[in-house]
Amino acid sequence: MRNATNSIAAIVLCAWTSSVLGMQNGCAAQSGAALAPVIELYTSEGCSSCPPADRWLSSLKAQAAQEQAVVEAFHVGYWDSLGWVDRFATPAFTTRQRQVAAANGLRSIYTPQVVRNGRDGRYGEPAAQALAAGEPARAAISLRGTGEEAFEAMVTPLDASAPWSAYWTVTEHGHSSRVKAGENAGEFLQHDFVVRQYVPAGDYRGPARLTLRTLAADAQHPRRINLVVFEPRTGRPLQALSLGC
C-alpha cells in the first residue's frame, strides 16, 4: 500500500511541478534534496540586547536568497511594558516562541533567541555557516504563485504514514524605527526578515496541497513567502522553502 501511495504522490507531484515550471511569471520554486535551513530570531524593539542579533540576521540576506533558506524575525511584545510598543509584535509570535521552548525543554522564553532547525541556538556565525544545508530532507515542497496575493504548495512527505504540520510566513526587508522610550530610547533600529504574516497551516498525513492568501505586497519592503513543514512532536523541520515574489 505504501508503494502505491508513493507512486501516486510522485505522479501528482510531477504533474504539478510541470505546471509550475511552465508558469510565465516565474513565481515558483522547488525544494532540493537537502534540508533547507530554518532560522528563527525572537526579538523586540524594547530589548537592549536585541539590536546586535537584528544586525546579524540582516547579514544573512544575500546568502538566504541564494540558498532558499527560511529566515524569520518574530517580534514579541512582552517588553512593551517598559514604555515602547513594538509595532511588529503580535501575541501569536509569543505563543509560537513558547511552543518552541516547550519542544526544547526550556523553562522560560527570552530575547534575543535564535532557533535553528527547531533547536535553541545562538547568533553570530558567518552566513555560510549559519545557512549551510543540513541532513537530507524528509519532504518535498513545490511552491508557486497562483494569482494576485495567492500562493499554493504541494507537500509530499517521504513517509506517507507519519504525521506532519506546516506553517506559512510572509517576511519583509527594510523596516526601521526611531525608538523613543524603553531600553532602546534614542536608537534607530533597522530590521530585515520581519514576519508580517504568520499562518499555521494544520496537521496532515501523506501528500497535501496548501494555500495561502497574503497581505498586499509593499514595493518599499521586498518580501519573501515561506513555508516550513515540520514534525508536530519535536518541531524539527522536514523541509522548508522560501520564494521571493
**Would you say residue 106 lies in a domain?**
yes
> Could you give the count of Cα atoms lying within 13 Å of 15 in the half-sphere of its Cβ?
5
Beta strands in 55-98 (DSSP E): 70-75
Give domain status of residue 7, yes or no: no
Q: Report the pLDDT averaged over residues 107-124.
A: 96
Average pLDDT, the chain: 91
State pLDDT tens for residues 185-228: 999 999 999 999 999 999 999 999 999 999 999 999 999 999 99
Cα–Cα dist 227/170, whole Å? 9
Q: What is the DSSP string of 11-57?
A: HHHHHHHHHHHT-TT--EEE--SBPPPEEEEEE-TT-TTSHHHHHHH
Cα separation, 121 vs 130, in Å, equals 10
Judged by average pLDDT, the poorest of 20-24, 55-59, 92-96, 159-163 is 20-24
Give the Cα separation of 99 and 230 in Å (integer): 13
pLDDT of residue 17: 41
Domain span holding position 141: 27-243
Nearest to 231 by CA among 149, 167, 147, 143: 167
Q: Is 58 within a domain?
A: yes
Which residue, 15, 64, 243, is CA-closest to 150?
A: 243
Q: Does 6 map to a domain?
A: no
Residue 137 lies in a domain: yes
pLDDT at 68: 85
3-class DSSP assignment, residue 228: strand
Residues 6+ apart with CB under 8 A from 210: 152, 153, 155, 166, 168, 201, 202, 227
Is the Cβ–Cβ distance between 156 and 202 less than 8 Å? no
* Domain contains 35: yes
CA dist list (Å): 238 to 34, 128, 182, 217, 235? 10, 21, 39, 28, 9
Q: Which grid coordinates are listed for 201?
A: 497551516
What one-character DSSP code corresponds to residue 229? E
User: What is residue 243's predicted lDDT score, i.e. its pLDDT?
Assistant: 95
pTM of the model: 0.89
Instruction: Tell whether 11 is covered by a domain.
Output: no
What value does the mean pLDDT take over residues 160-166?
97
> Looking at the domain assignment, is residue 9 inside a domain?
no
Asked which of 37-46, 81-90, 127-136 is least confident by mean pLDDT, the reply is: 127-136
Q: Is the model's pLDDT at 112 over the cut of 90?
A: yes
Instruction: Give tens-digit pLDDT for 44-83.
Output: 999 999 999 999 999 999 999 888 899 999 999 999 999 9
The count of domains in the chain is: 1
Q: Do strands 223-230 and 163-172 pair parallel, antiparallel, or not at all (unpaired)?
A: antiparallel
Count of other CB atoms within 10 angstroms of residue 185: 14
3-state secondary structure of 112: coil
The confidence band for 108, taking pLDDT boundaries of 50, 70 and 90, is: very high
d(CA 190, CA 11): 45
Contact yes or no for 42/113 (Cβ under 8 A): yes
Query: What average pLDDT does the segment 109-113 reach?
Result: 98
Average pLDDT over residues 158-174: 97
